[in-house]
């Protein structure tokens, strides 16, 4: 009786339920129904609602290890402390299950990562994730894992571009990202985390050669002990407009912040190529249609959501089915 009562206390603390008296008999069918509801909500990026559904599943069956696993994953995008409590409960319940031994090992490592992760600035908290916009986290997670910065705000050196319109475009890119991510402009490149390399060659070693811009991560003092920084290089042989430079630098700054892959949506600044949209409209008094061009002007909410999810997740991990 004493041991069972201890289980009830843990379940109540994680799911937010208030329990009293002797435990009711587990209703696994009801637990599975709530668990499946949680999975559907998780797949729609509705993490807070998924947490509530998994909590109901655990309320019906306090030994439901899979529900604790998925609860922990969803909680990472809601509350880190509750996520760690759920991971620990999963470890306690699944410790002797042979079919979950590899998942137990991964969960133990994940819990350790969460415990060591720095406290994030307000702008990167899960509360700023907008479920309706979604994200492309799973497209970039494998490449991006471990690329997150640990100290904030990031210091950015924009330098002096050869043309004023390029300088203005780069500054607009910085301003757009700084609305969503903690950044700080600095006057000198030394000590900056992200640096514009206006005088860098596009034909340097390890450059793919086909891109018009790129980010290279370097170290001052060596890879093991040195300080990491990112250099953004742009092909200046083109006659870029201010808007084009803004789009290019915005895209590469997204890479520098930690997004190492690309979005599949043309509405995101992290789409794999700079997007030009040509508009056509008939104007009274003009015999032929008029055309004008527009570029993606700033990071989309999907871009922001992806960064938030990247910084709040202790590495990529799939939910249990």
- pLDDT (tens digit per residue) in 8-56: 333 444 544 433 344 456 788 999 999 999 999 999 999 999 999 999 9
The per-residue pLDDT for range 205-252, each reduced to its tens digit, is: 544 333 456 788 898 887 777 789 999 999 998 899 999 999 999 999
45 is in which domain, residue-wise?
A: 2-116
Q: Is residue 121 part of a domain?
A: no
The per-residue pLDDT for range 152-198, each reduced to its tens digit, is: 999 999 999 999 999 999 999 999 999 999 999 999 999 999 999 99
Q: Is residue 321 part of a domain?
A: no
Q: What is the pLDDT confidence band of residue 315, given thresholds at 50, 70 and 90?
A: confident
Q: Is residue 317 part of a domain?
A: no
C-alpha distances in Å from residue 276, one per residue of 30, 244, 271: 51, 9, 12
**What SS3 state is found at 278?**
strand
84 lies in the same domain as 36: yes
Whichever domain contains 68, its CATH number is 1.25.40.10
| Model-wide pTM > 0.75 | yes
Residue 200: per-residue pLDDT: 85
Mean pLDDT of 255-262: 95
CB under 8 Å to 28, separation ≥6 — which residues?
60, 61, 64
Considering 71, 91, 116, which residue would you say is the last residue of a domain? 116
Considering 85, 116, 147, which residue would you say is the last residue of a domain? 116
Considering 88, 116, 144, which residue would you say is the last residue of a domain? 116
Mean pLDDT of 120-146: 95
Tokens of 279: 């508009």
151 lies in the same domain as 57: no
201 lies in the same domain as 272: yes
C-alpha distances in Å from residue 26, one per residue of 2, 59, 72: 17, 9, 21
60 lies in the same domain as 161: no
Q: Is residue 213 part of a domain?
A: yes
């Amino acid at each position: 009786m004493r041991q069972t009562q201890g289980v009830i206390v843990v379940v109540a603390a994680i799911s937010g339920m208030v329990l009293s008296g002797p435990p009711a008999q587990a209703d696994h069918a009801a637990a599975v129904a709530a668990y499946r509801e949680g999975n559907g909500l998780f797949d729609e990026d509705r993490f807070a609602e998924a947490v509530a559904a998994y909590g109901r599943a655990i309320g019906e069956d306090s030994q439901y290890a899979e529900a604790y696993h998925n609860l922990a994953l969803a909680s990472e995008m809601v509350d880190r402390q509750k996520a760690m409590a759920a991971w620990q409960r999963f470890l306690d319940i699944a410790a002797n299950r042979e079919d979950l031994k590899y998942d137990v090992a991964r969960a133990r490592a994940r819990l350790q990562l969460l415990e060591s992760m720095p406290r994030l600035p307000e702008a990167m908290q899960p509360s700023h994730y907008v479920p309706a916009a979604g994200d492309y986290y799973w497209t970039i997670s494998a490449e991006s894992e471990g690329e997150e910065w640990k100290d904030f705000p990031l210091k950015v050196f924009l330098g002096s571009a050869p043309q004023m319109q390029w300088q203005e475009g780069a500054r607009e890119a910085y301003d757009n990202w700084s609305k969503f991510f903690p950044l700080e402009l600095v006057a000198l490149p030394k000590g900056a985390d992200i640096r514009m390399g206006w005088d860098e060659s596009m034909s340097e070693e390890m450059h793919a050669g086909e891109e018009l811009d790129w980010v290279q991560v370097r170290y001052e003092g060596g890879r093991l002990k040195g300080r990491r920084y990112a250099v953004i290089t742009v092909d200046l042989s083109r006659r870029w407009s201010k808007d084009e430079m803004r789009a290019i630098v915005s895209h590469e700054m997204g890479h520098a912040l930690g997004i190492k892959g690309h979005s599949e949506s043309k509405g995101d600044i992290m789409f794999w190529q700079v997007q030009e949209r040509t508009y056509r409209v008939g104007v009274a008094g003009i015999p032929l249609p008029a055309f004008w061009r527009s570029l993606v002007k700033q990071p989309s909410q999907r871009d922001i959501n992806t960064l938030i999810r990247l910084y709040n997740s202790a590495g990529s991990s799939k939910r249990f089915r």
